[in-house]
Structure 1
């Protein structure tokens, strides 16, 4: 029973713990990047600064689970970026793994259209190239890739905008490209910052001030150092005031205004010591020691030199050593210790040469990286060009196939429609011809019937009233049935429609036929009797027989042959 109770208690504790862990992220769910920027920054800062990697990873794991649960895709990507940042601190040796993870996140954020994660991932990759692999040209490539994107996004939506621009300016200053260092830093100053990033403007102004010092534009350098003094706040007062005073002290030193430079450098040293900024302290003490020597205060110069040497060692920055060794040499020369003077002057020369060598090596490294990067880009462009050519060839082939199909379809449809139209015309013509034939047959039959009826009428009248054929009445009636020239033309057109080509074949077979004989042969084709033929032609029956006889003679027909057989074969 105790075991069961114990298990239940443990499960309850785990549930409460999970709920409380999830509850801490509820206020950042489905918010914009700007709205949750401070909260997310605190999460990663606590995870990194505490050094408790397991707790940090667990916190980010819970954050991602909460984001997935609430369908907050932006927060999912945010958790993955923070995971890479924390893993970089926990496992510094896994450089290749981190680079691959960042590249994968960059590709994913670009695909999902998440601009802020895309920019931050590329900026982090640039930072990684710069500090972890010393691949400066790759770092510059990443910086320059995100720069046009930074111009498109508002600082209200992207609080890190000014910070990223100031970092690009610092990168150019590192390689002595002071023009670009000033330009990017000025661009950072044009961007509004949130209270947490107020020091970013000081960082940009410091880069500009140092760049002007390097180009001997000391008045311009002082302008920006004084602006830093006007921009200091409670939280960063000691840091930035000391840096600005150190810059002003340095420009005064370079002008030879030592009385003006001393209090500024002393103030810089005081604040640098308080905040353990050994680099600032070493640089200011070195300049101060040289000023004391120039003021002929040898004892104070010697004391300051040793103090400066101590902070150079603590800072592990060797830049002040050249001037420091020179001052050591001058102090020992003033004390008459020429052996040490030569040693320190030689050390100053060696340090100077070492710095020159390092600087030249760094410039050559960047040039080499640029060359390698250019070669890499050329290879990539060649591969891309080959791919583009293959794609173009494929597209051309597909286009040609498509065009051929379209042309084939066009010709098929054209042929189809033409064939259909032709068939329609033929069908219409056949239908029309059929209708004309039907009409002609009816007309011809009507014409023949009319002739027969008229002949019957003449015969009837002759029989009923005993009228002779020579009498006028009969003659008038016969005139009605006679086929005139005009009627013959009409008759022939109807006849040709029904018996197509008959008259032409008749003329070919019997070229010597007279018009009367031709008409006889046409009427014979209609199976008219001799009496009907005589009535139609306006001649006597005997004349019809004469015409028949002439035709038989022309055809050389024997007496027993029937002329109807000849008519039917034509």
Structure 2
């Protein structure tokens, strides 16, 4: 009797345990994705993105058992997807396994016709490629696969639709493809969102505004930043209001409307400090410091730039450093410390070059990944073709006619692949040459722009402080802009890449030119003014005119002839 009673007790406990588990998930069993979306989000937040470890795995096992017991196949796949998400958080080193698991779930959901699991699995795969493996082209391939699928499902059935579109827009913005960034973000704004996703529209509007700002369409940028201010709710008020105010302050700063920019930037700093957004605080404080300097409030500018520097170190980002170093340089120049001025200006240039180098490296990486992806697809096609050929070769023994056909097909395909490979190599070489030319053009433009910016800074500071300053001070400032022999060699290399053979043709046409006259002709080809040439070469404007006169004399140019015409036609 005791044994029978014990067994009955165990059975009752198991039944009670099963019923308790079912009751725990009663509200999400056999419901649509939209109906259980909020509950699933809460489950994910409490299990996946917390440090629960083994307890989280047990919760997922229970969820999957309940789903299987109730024949809820969609919920089974939800549990599988959450398991992959949890594995990614716990076992960060198992990258290959995470990718294979996601691909398997993508195939499974596609076969089952579960669109929302299919989309979410692909989005997680794109996210993994982007952030974990830095394989940007694979991520973009997933995004471009997701986009047409999103058109087939409504936001009522798939609440994440606007979020997915805004993420694609952000990805294009990251790679400075502002046209596509605006296009996808605008599409996200056409999609209705649930209350929990109100911030998604703000994210899309912010991407559009930033894209317009990058393309100097400041009025259009302001329209979207102001829309964010009218779309902030209680939960996201401080975050989005601060971001929008900071961006409006930046557009006002870019227009030179400093009185309008100051209160907006100050409000942005206040909100950023409250929510510990060090990046926003650093960027806004740097702009404020530059404004105070331009308003001739040197002490306030210095205090503010030191505060900005503190938040830069806290945020561990590089983007605000270029302007921060420039402002430090201006402040030290105003205080007469020209050694520090030169040092900060050089640091600003180094930071900008490093950032551009990193961005160019990412662009090149993406281009390389694209080429590898195409090569991979070509290999897959080749493997498939080879299998087909082998299959046909086994059938060659059937008849002599089939043998001749297979031989002809083999030679045709061999010739086709060799021709295509040669064409691919030629195309790759052309792309590489174009990329090198583009990079050299950017570097040369940056070189000449740096000369102009330093020259303008010298003029501004000289004009502002030369009343009480000495001639020696002005000369110290001017030394910043003089092009050294080492810099000239670097400049000449870039110049030759863009204007191929120009200096050789110049020497052939005018073999008696002096080095100074040669440099004059190169700078004239870049349309530098005589004042900029004088600053760059470390000579007076009058000396530049003398050089020009000597060249005209050597060319036997009449008075009515323009030297610029000669420069551009060599």
* Interval containing the TM-score (normalised by the shorter chain): 0.5 to 0.7
Give the 3 Å change call, closer, same or farther, for CA 262–13 of structure 1 in structure 2: farther
In the TM superposition, 1:296-445 aligns within 5 A as 296-386=296-386
| 1:262 equivalent in structure 2 | 262
| 2:45 equivalent in structure 1 | 45
Aligned-pair CA distance for 1:17? 5.7
| 2:20 equivalent in structure 1 | 20
Give the 3 Å change call, closer, same or farther, for CA 396–293 of structure 1 in structure 2: farther
In the TM superposition, 1:1-20 aligns within 5 A as 19-20=19-20
| 2:241 equivalent in structure 1 | 241
Cα distance in 2 for partners of 1:105, 1:397 equals 43
Cα distance in 1 for partners of 2:198, 2:15 equals 41
Q: Which runs of 4+ in 1 moved over 6 A?
A: 4-15, 388-398
Select between 137-146 and 371-380 the one with higher mean Cα deviation: 371-380
Aligned-pair CA distance for 1:168? 0.3
Cα distance in 2 for partners of 1:210, 1:199 equals 16
Q: Are the equivalent residues in 2 in contact too, given 1:22–1:62 (CA < 8 A)?
A: no
| 2:456 equivalent in structure 1 | none
In the TM superposition, 1:19-418 aligns within 5 A as 19-386=19-386
Cα distance in 2 for partners of 1:55, 1:7 equals 29
**What do residues 69-98 of structure 1 show as CA deviations (whole Å, max 9, x unaligned)?**
000101100100011111111111111111
Give the 3 Å change call, closer, same or farther, for CA 395–179 of structure 1 in structure 2: farther
Give the 3 Å change call, closer, same or farther, for CA 72–346 of structure 1 in structure 2: same
Q: Are the equivalent residues in 2 in contact too, given 1:286–1:320 (CA < 8 A)?
A: yes
**What do residues 451-494 of structure 1 show as CA deviations (whole Å, max 9, x unaligned)?**
xxxxxxxxxxxxxxxxxxxxxxxxxxxxxxxxxxxxxxxxxxxx
**What do residues 490-539 of structure 1 show as CA deviations (whole Å, max 9, x unaligned)?**
xxxxxxxxxxxxxxxxxxxxxxxxxxxxxxxxxxxxxxxxxxxxxxxxxx
Aligned-pair CA distance for 1:54? 1.3
Q: Are the equivalent residues in 1 in contact too, given 2:49–2:89 (CA < 8 A)?
A: no
Partner secondary structure for residue 50 of structure 1 = coil
Cα distance in 2 for partners of 1:394, 1:162 equals 53
**What do residues 154-193 of structure 1 show as CA deviations (whole Å, max 9, x unaligned)?**
0100010000000000000000000000000000001000
Q: What is the TM-score normalised by the length of structure 1?
A: 0.66
Q: What is the TM-score normalised by the length of structure 2?
A: 0.66
Give the 3 Å change call, closer, same or farther, for CA 340–67 of structure 1 in structure 2: same
Q: Are the equivalent residues in 1 in contact too, given 2:48–2:82 (CA < 8 A)?
A: no
Cα distance in 2 for partners of 1:197, 1:248 equals 23
Q: Are the equivalent residues in 1 in contact too, given 2:21–2:66 (CA < 8 A)?
A: no
TM-align CA RMSD: 2.7
**What do residues 228-252 of structure 1 show as CA deviations (whole Å, max 9, x unaligned)?**
0111111101110001101100000
Give the 3 Å change call, closer, same or farther, for CA 311–79 of structure 1 in structure 2: same
Cα distance in 1 for partners of 2:207, 2:326 equals 27
Cα distance in 2 for partners of 1:64, 1:395 equals 50
Give the 3 Å change call, closer, same or farther, for CA 396–191 of structure 1 in structure 2: farther
Q: Are the equivalent residues in 2 in contact too, given 1:246–1:284 (CA < 8 A)?
A: yes
Aligned-pair CA distance for 1:259? 0.6
Aligned-pair CA distance for 1:48? 2.9
Partner secondary structure for residue 34 of structure 1 = coil
Aligned-pair CA distance for 1:343? 1.2
**What do residues 326-380 of structure 1 show as CA deviations (whole Å, max 9, x unaligned)?**
0001001111111111111111111011011101111111111111111112222
Give the 3 Å change call, closer, same or farther, for CA 22–345 of structure 1 in structure 2: same
Aligned-pair CA distance for 1:214? 0.4
Cα distance in 1 for partners of 2:9, 2:77 equals 35
Partner secondary structure for residue 211 of structure 1 = helix
Cα distance in 2 for partners of 1:389, 1:152 equals 39
Aligned-pair CA distance for 1:57? 1.1
Q: Are the equivalent residues in 1 in contact too, given 2:212–2:220 (CA < 8 A)?
A: yes
Q: Are the equivalent residues in 2 in contact too, given 1:285–1:308 (CA < 8 A)?
A: yes
Aligned-pair CA distance for 1:20? 3.2
Cα distance in 1 for partners of 2:362, 2:91 equals 27
Q: Are the equivalent residues in 2 in contact too, given 1:44–1:86 (CA < 8 A)?
A: no
Partner secondary structure for residue 92 of structure 1 = coil
- Structure 2 portions without partners, runs of 5+: 399-570
| 1:546 equivalent in structure 2 | none
**What do residues 1-52 of structure 1 show as CA deviations (whole Å, max 9, x unaligned)?**
xxx9999999988875654343221111110010011111110111134311
Q: Are the equivalent residues in 2 in contact too, given 1:286–1:323 (CA < 8 A)?
A: yes
Matched pairs, number? 398
Rg larger for: 1
